[in-house]
């Protein structure tokens, strides 16, 4: 564990955050797999499916932009999701060259179950913290979101 002195510099803080966020992400990934519902999806596949669940419908290009991946990479992701019955394609209403992607009922169920499992695990961990620690995390949450969007 990093000492308070180790986080006084920006470099020390960066190192401590990198380690902690990576460990937390690893634990959250492990929790989503314990529910038994989710097919074996990569992080990128689940993120794309979750984006479709959240936004209802997107073109492949919009989804690639949203997920910050190149269109050919998104094409491979979508192929897997479609093969597994998690995503479906439909003709675009106004542009015949485009398709619109939506999550299937099964795809939405997979995302929602995954989210429930991870949030339940995290809520349990948060309950183990002091009120002051939870308050510090509440204050840090918007800052972490800002970092994740930059």
Selection from 42, 54, 56, 41 nearest residue 88 by Cα: 56
Report pLDDT digits (tens) over 117-145: 889 999 999 999 999 999 999 999 999 99
What does pTM read for this prediction? 0.77
Report pLDDT digits (tens) over 5-51: 566 788 988 998 899 999 998 888 887 766 666 668 888 999 999 99
In CATH, what number does 39-149 get?
1.10.10.10
Q: Residue ranges per domain, the chain?
A: 39-149
Dump the DSSP string for 14-75. Answer: HHHHHHHHHHHHHHHHHHHGGGS-S-S--HHHHHHHHHHHHHS-B-HHHHHHHHT--HHHHH
Cα separation of 49 and 40, whole Å?
A: 13
């Amino acid at each position: 564990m990093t000492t308070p002195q180790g986080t006084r510099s920006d470099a020390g803080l960066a190192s401590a955050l990198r380690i902690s966020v990576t460990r937390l992400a690893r634990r959250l990934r492990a929790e989503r797999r314990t529910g038994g519902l989710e097919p074996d999806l990569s992080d990128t596949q689940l993120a794309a499916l979750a984006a479709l669940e959240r936004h209802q419908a997107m073109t492949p290009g919009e989804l690639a932009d949203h997920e910050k991946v190149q269109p050919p990479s998104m094409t491979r992701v979508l192929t897997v999701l479609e093969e597994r019955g998690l995503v479906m394609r439909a003709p675009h209403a106004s542009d015949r060259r485009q398709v619109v992607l939506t999550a299937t009922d099964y795809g939405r169920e997979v995302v929602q179950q995954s989210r429930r499992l991870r949030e339940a695990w995290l809520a349990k961990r948060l309950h183990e913290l002091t009120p002051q620690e939870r308050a510090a995390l509440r204050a840090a949450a918007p800052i972490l979101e800002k970092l994740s969007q930059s």
